[in-house]
Each structure stands twice: as structure tokens, then as C-alpha cells.
Amino acid sequence: MPRMTAARAAVEVLKREGVSNAFGIPGAAINPLYAAMRDSGGIDHVLARHVEGASHMAEGYTRTAAGNIGVCIGTSGPAGTDMITGLYSASADSVPILCITGQAPRSRLHKEDFQAVDIPSIAKPLTKMALTVLEPSQVPGAFQRAFHEMRSGRPGPVLIDLPLDVQQSEIEFDPDTYEPLPAYRPSATRAQIEKALEMLCQAERPLIVAGGGVINADASDLLVSFAETVDVPVVPTLMGWGSIPDDHELMAGMAGLQTAHRYGNATLLESDFVLGIGNRWANRHTGGLETYTRGRTFVHVDIEPTQIGRVFAPDYGITSDAGAALELFSGIAREWADSGQLPDRRAWVRDCAERKETLHRRTHFDDVPIKPQRVYEEMNRAFGPETRYVSSIGLSQIAAAQFLHVYRPRHWINCGQAGPLGWTVPAALGVCKADPEATVVALSGDYDLQFLLEELAVGAQFNLPYVHVVVNNSYLGLIRQAQRQFDMDYCVQLSFDNINTPELGAYGVDHLKVAEGLGCKALRVTEPDQLLPAFDEARKLMLEYRVPVLVEAILERVTNISMGTEIDGINEFEDLATTLEDAPTSVVPQARQDGAEHARPALTD
């Protein structure tokens, strides 16, 4: 039997579980694992500037392609605590990542040794498994179980903590005979799917709500096939955006309080039946449950049995992997269609399409400083359906969901529930590592950018090129808007007069100088007509230099973005476009691009 260190055995397991990339920061307590990676080869490592950044890189890597599992590595103590935000984000969005931390030697764990912390106890609520491996011979089995846990049932993160002496101990392990454990995923029965289909057929105005579970299961094609067979419109959640193309006739728009379309909310409110697949009924999607559920029958399909009834009790629940359920839904629906058992939905589909064609928000503004809506209008013009968008949180993300277009699964990469500021830069780098040929476009407000800005140097060092659009109003914009109910504007202004760049006025931080100092390229836009040329130039610079390229749009300081506390009570702060003639680019991809002149509405705050 071959003998090797436990650290080397861990690396061999990683490779046989499909790991070819890792993100992290070496240090004293994890150096044996790094030595094993060097000696073994086969795992490409990206050196982060912050361990939280490494965890978000791992998230971006996982979210980019089915089957990916991002790995982040750090030394002991604060490296593990720095990973907690990444573990929370991954857990909340059902994203499998593996965090590996070094630890003090076993004999020192109870002596308050330097950087020794009980990281499994800290991480346990946010992971599917968190453990310190105390026996060297258990290391291969611990990593085998980790991958089994991450892939089984509802996906999620795992943390493995390795004491220094455990890593260095020799064990017997034969990597050539290693095999991953098969993942467990529950599957619906035919009887369950037939019952759900019967309920759908009895409805007059049914909808399908497609959540992130559809994308996790790599089941978007099955979703579209099923929707087309039964002729039922689809409302994707924010995490399910891209599971059906934006320009598909059955894409009915997103619903919710913030990241939603006017036509999506209107259609959901008109429905009488909702089939939710792989979704959580998150509060930003539902708003008040009385409004959301009134007059509607619900069927909920989810891979995690404890999710059924967690937010509200559906009329019928099915525990199943979304892909397994949709395979049955599609097959049985085709059988029923062939035998004439499916009702005619053409009138309902036409109603939904009419709302999609008419209920738009205005995007075309010629104002200086730039209004944010115009930025997204020009992004739609500049970036095609192959673009992978990455975004985190804030008014920039909310407006992006209202105005951008997504046509493919895993082309909207967003931290949904946790929403940590700073997520965007490292996540975009993880996306670039997972798909080096992709056109990656990240989107941040100025504050999100500033949280983990140093990770731009990682993109420059490792040639991970992408375009980063920064909408800069020098405000905590979403918090400022939320503070309206308290009649205040308190501790949310980022503005100050930068003595080094007086030309910026009160916009403060010179993001261009910072980005350039970190090895990237950067452009600034102050007028709306400069946006499209800047995006084109950014793509050229990105391809020429193979580094991140920042495009900063200087916005007006205050713009309120449409949102509300109920899906039937969204505050619309700008004049509403009501036809395609008035909404040249924002909602329907086939809409004309020339735009129309609009008088600027009064804006009060």
C-alpha cells in the first residue's frame, strides 16, 4: 500500500473528485497542504488578497458551470473566520464550496495556541458539514464524505479543518483505487407528478415559478420543454433568472418587491395556480404572503423536504431534485398532449404577452449627471446574450434585474439571500477562472466595489479579464432610499472633496487611480452618450491586456429605484413607459433601439 502524508492524500482525493482549481492564501498551519499541491501537481492555485475574497472566488467558480465545486484554502484562525461570509453566502444560495483551513497541532488545541480557534463550531450553522480531522488516517474519508455531502440533496458548503501535525503524518492510501461516493438526490414519483399536472390542468391561469434549483440541476432545457408542452408562462426568481431566455414568449417576467418587472408582478397577481420548482418563496420574491397567496393554488417541488411548508403551506408538496421532477413533468406532459388531455392556454398566454409588451419602466434619459437607468439601456446594447453578468447587492443589482436581459442559465451570477458587499469583484474572478473564454461583465455600486477592491490585483496578476461597470453616486443608495421611511439621510453619504482629484468634486474616491494602481485599466464616463463607446473600448482593453477593466459611470446623486413592500404596491418613481414606442430598450429584447425624447419628471426624495 502506498504511503504518503495525510496532506498529500487530501490533494489526491481533491483531484479525483474533479478539482483542478483552488483559491486561497498559504500560511504556517496550512503549508503542508500547499507543499502537497506543489508536489502532486494538477491543481492550479489563484492567490487571493483576502481570505473572504478567496471564498467568494470559489463561489463564482462553482456557480459558473454544472458540476463545478470551488475550493478555497486558508491558514488557521482568522483565515477560517474570514471564510464565514463566503460560507453563509454559499449556504443561503445552495452553492457547494469546500473551505479548507489549517489548524494548530492537536496537542495545542486546548492551550489557546496562536491562531487556534474552534472553527467547526463557528461554521457549523452555515455548512452541511464542518469538522476538525483529528486522526490522520481519517483524512481521505473526511474529504470523500465532504464531496458526497456537497453534492447530495440540497447542495451546500463544507469546511474541513486540518491540524498541522495531522497534515504531516504519514498514512497508507492508494489514490489509484479511490472512487467518489455516489450523490443522493430525491426523485419524484410518477403518481406525484401526475397529481401536480392534474392540478395545473384544472387551473385557468397557471404559472411556473422557476428557482435556482432548476439551474443547480442543469435542468433549464427541461423547464423550457415542459413549459412549451403545457403552454404555461414562466416566472423565474432572481436565482433562477436565465433558466428561460428573456426573449422567449413564455418568459413572463420576474416578480417581487425589488428585482422584478412590472409585467411579472401583474401576471402573478392575475394567476390562479403556481407551480414552484426549485425555489424558496424568498421574501424579496413574495412580499406579504397574504397578497402573494390570495386566490391561488400552490404546488411546491424542492430537493430539500424541510423547505416544503417552511414559508407557507402549499396545497401540494413534492420532495424532488428539480431535474428529476422536470424530466417526469416533460415526459408525462407530452403523453397527455398527444392524447389531447391538455387544455388550450392560448388566451392566457396572449394576456401575459400583452403585459410584457406594455408594462415597462423608462430607461432613456439624457440627463447629466447620468441617470442609472440609461446605464443599463446601454449595457443591453453593448453586451450580447453570451455575456455572464455578475452582481452582488444594492440599487445597482436591483436596477440590473429590472432592466438587463439574460438569455442563458448561469449567465446571471448573483449572491441572492446573503448579499454581502464586496462579493462582486472576487466572484467575477472565480467566473473568469471557470470560463476563461467568456465575456464576463460585473456590476457594482461604488460601495460594493470598495469592500474588496484589492482583489482587482488578483485579476491583473493571473490575467483574469472582465469588464467591471461601477455606477457611482457616492452614496449607500439602497440604504438611503430605505431611510426615507425614517425621514432621514444619515451616515449613508460617501461624498467628500478628494484633495488629490478636485475634478471629481464631492464624489470622493478616485476609483480609476486605485484600479490602475492595482494593475488594471479604467475609464470614466460622465455623459450618457459616452457609455456605449466606453463599453466598446473596455472590451478592447480587456482583450488586449487580459486584465480587469473598470468603467465608472458618474451618476446623479439621488435616484429612487422602483420597489415596495407588497407586489401589488410597488412605488414607481419615474415616468412609466407604457408601450414599446416609449420603452426603446429596457424590457423586450426585440424593442427598437433609437429611443424617444422624454420630458424629465419631477423627482422628490
305 shares a domain with 442: no
Q: Taking a C-beta distance cutoff of 8 angstroms, is the pair 505, 472 a contact? A: no
The rounded distance, in Å, linking the Cα atoms of 510 and 554 is 11
- Assigned domain for 583 exists: no
The rounded distance, in Å, linking the Cα atoms of 155 and 273 is 28
- Assigned domain for 364 exists: no
Mean pLDDT of the chain: 92
Q: Classify residue 308 as exposed, middle or buried by CB count within 10 Å of its CB (0-12, 13-18, 19+).
A: middle
DSSP labels, 401-454: HHH----STTSEEE--SS--TT-HHHHHHHHHHH-TTS-EEEEEEHHHHHHTGG
Helix axes 139-151, 6-16, angle to 10 degrees: 30
End-to-end CA distance of the chain: 73
Q: Which of 580, 585, 236 is nearest to 376 (CA)?
A: 585
Over residues 361-393, the pLDDT tens digits come to: 999 999 999 999 999 999 999 999 999 999 998
Over residues 37-59, the pLDDT tens digits come to: 999 999 999 999 999 999 999 99
pLDDT for 590: 36
172 shares a domain with 52: yes
The range of the structural domain enclosing residue 322 comes to 190-358
Q: Which of 482, 478, 480 is nearest to 565 (CA)?
A: 482
The rounded distance, in Å, linking the Cα atoms of 151 and 552 is 39
534 shares a domain with 385: yes
Over residues 469-526, the pLDDT tens digits come to: 999 998 877 888 888 888 888 888 888 888 898 888 888 899 999 999 999 999 999 9
196 shares a domain with 133: no
Between 237-246, 395-404, 407-416, 484-493, the lowest mean confidence (pLDDT) is in 484-493
Q: Taking a C-beta distance cutoff of 8 angstroms, is the pair 454, 488 a contact? A: no
232 shares a domain with 376: no
157 shares a domain with 19: yes
Span 283-287, mean pLDDT? 93
Cell (9 digits) for 127: 455548512
Question: Taking 50 as the threshold, does the pLDDT of residue 239 lie above it?
Answer: yes
Cell (9 digits) for 209: 415559478
Q: Which of 266, 249, 231 is nearest to 589 (CA)?
A: 249
CATH of the domain at 75: 3.40.50.970
pLDDT for 108: 87
Question: Taking 70 as the threshold, does the pLDDT of residue 23 lie above it?
Answer: yes
pLDDT for 113: 84
164 shares a domain with 108: yes
The residues near 403 (Cβ < 8 Å, ≥ 6 apart) are 361, 363, 373, 376, 377, 380, 586, 587
- Final residue belonging to a domain, choices 177, 211, 238: 177
The rounded distance, in Å, linking the Cα atoms of 156 and 149 is 8
- Final residue belonging to a domain, choices 312, 333, 358: 358
Domain count, the chain: 3
- Assigned domain for 530 exists: yes
Q: Taking a C-beta distance cutoff of 8 angstroms, is the pair 80, 117 a contact? A: yes
- To the question of pTM greater than 0.85 for the whole model, the response is yes
524 shares a domain with 432: yes
- Assigned domain for 281 exists: yes
Percentage of the chain beyond pLDDT 90 is 84
37 shares a domain with 14: yes
Q: With H, G, I as helix, E, B as strand and everything else as coil, classify residue 368.
A: coil
276 shares a domain with 241: yes
- Assigned domain for 378 exists: yes
- Assigned domain for 411 exists: yes
pLDDT for 490: 81
Unique residue bearing C-alpha cell 443522493 = 184
- Final residue belonging to a domain, choices 156, 177, 198: 177
CATH of the domain at 204: 3.40.50.1220
165 shares a domain with 21: yes
Between 44-48, 113-117, 601-605, the lowest mean confidence (pLDDT) is in 601-605
Unique residue bearing C-alpha cell 398527444 = 338
Span 147-162, mean pLDDT? 97
The residues near 198 (Cβ < 8 Å, ≥ 6 apart) are none
161 shares a domain with 194: no
